[in-house]
């Protein structure tokens, strides 16, 4: 999924058009990925394994920046921060992250709860899961899309039962990790609950990267 699919409908106001523009983080794939991959001891095939894509796809990301969505960039920046903050050797961190995969790595970094270690992490979210996470936050589909670096119309696809028929999953691994992270961190039944009506209202205008950076900073600063 690319972050700039389509244009606002004709007749949209300038403010509406601005509101629907995805939040963008700086380029990462071509600039930072080769060095990060070397530090982790990963091959391009390992990058593909982590994200659940082919080696050829990972090669295109690094060579041309193809497929550089906001959610994937946010994950890689999160990984880079984890490497810098860890007292373990870089190669050890790389092996651990590779074994975890993107969904478990993100949820482990953002939220430490029993639910985050359950097998449910490996099951499709389904349209109810996507809708439930957004509804708990109290965000519109346009706000949800902008936070995740997608165009305003995409959440309607995610929340459509037809999109999940016959085993289809319209979410990539990085998007699924982000939505699971939001779901876990906004659940009042879990210990690391974040009050949606205060902190979330401010955070939704800053984007996914700000969410990852903020929670990771809290993790690093907290007693182990």
Contact 65, 25 (CB under 8 A): no
Q: How far apart are CA 106 and CA 84, in angstroms?
A: 16
Mean pLDDT of the chain: 78
Within a 10 A sphere around the Cβ of 160, how many other Cβ atoms? 14
List pLDDT tens digits, range 161-209: 999 998 888 998 899 999 988 888 887 777 666 665 556 887 888 889 8
Which pLDDT score is estimated for 30? 75
Which pLDDT score is estimated for 21? 56
Residue ranges in the chain modelled with pLDDT below 70: 1-26, 90, 112-120, 191-199, 218-224
Residues whose CB falls within 8 Å of the CB of residue 10, separated by 6 or more in sequence, listed in order: none
CA distances (Å), 144 to each of 14, 115, 118, 126, 173, in order? 20, 23, 25, 16, 17
Whole-structure pTM over 0.85, yes or no? no
Which pLDDT score is estimated for 8? 31
Which pLDDT score is estimated for 7? 31
Largest CA distance in the chain: 55
Contact 105, 76 (CB under 8 A): no
Continuous H helices in the chain: 14-19, 29-40, 44-51, 55-64, 70-85, 90-110, 126-137, 141-148, 154-158, 173-185, 201-203, 208-221
**SS3 for 28?**
coil
Which pLDDT score is estimated for 1? 37
Instruction: Report residue 112 as tokens.
Output: 């430490």
Rg (C-alpha) for the chain, rounded Å, is 17
Q: How far apart are CA 125 and CA 171, in angstroms?
A: 9
Instruction: Report residue 36 as tokens.
Output: 């990060």
């Amino acid at each position: 999924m690319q972050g700039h699919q389509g244009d606002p409908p004709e007749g949209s106001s300038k403010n509406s058009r601005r509101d629907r523009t995805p939040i963008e983080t700086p380029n990462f794939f071509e600039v930072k990925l080769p060095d990060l991959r070397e530090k982790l001891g990963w091959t391009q095939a390992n990058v593909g394994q982590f994200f659940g894509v082919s080696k050829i796809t990972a090669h295109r990301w690094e060579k041309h920046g193809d497929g550089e969505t906001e959610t994937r960039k946010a994950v890689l920046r999160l990984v880079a921060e984890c490497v810098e903050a860890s007292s373990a050797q870089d190669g050890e961190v790389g092996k651990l992250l590779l074994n975890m995969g993107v969904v478990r790595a993100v949820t482990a970094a953002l939220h430490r709860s029993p639910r985050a270690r359950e097998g449910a992490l490996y099951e499709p979210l389904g349209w109810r899961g996507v809708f439930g996470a957004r509804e708990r936050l109290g965000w519109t589909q346009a706000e949800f899309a902008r936070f995740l670096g997608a165009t305003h119309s995409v959440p309607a696809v995610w929340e459509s039962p037809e999109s999940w028929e016959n085993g289809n999953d319209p979410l990539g691994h990085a998007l699924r990790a982000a939505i699971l992270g939001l779901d876990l961190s906004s659940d009042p039944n879990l210990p690391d609950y974040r009050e949606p009506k205060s902190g979330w209202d401010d955070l939704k205008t800053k984007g996914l990267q700000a969410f990852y950076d903020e929670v990771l900073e809290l993790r690093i600063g907290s007693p182990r």
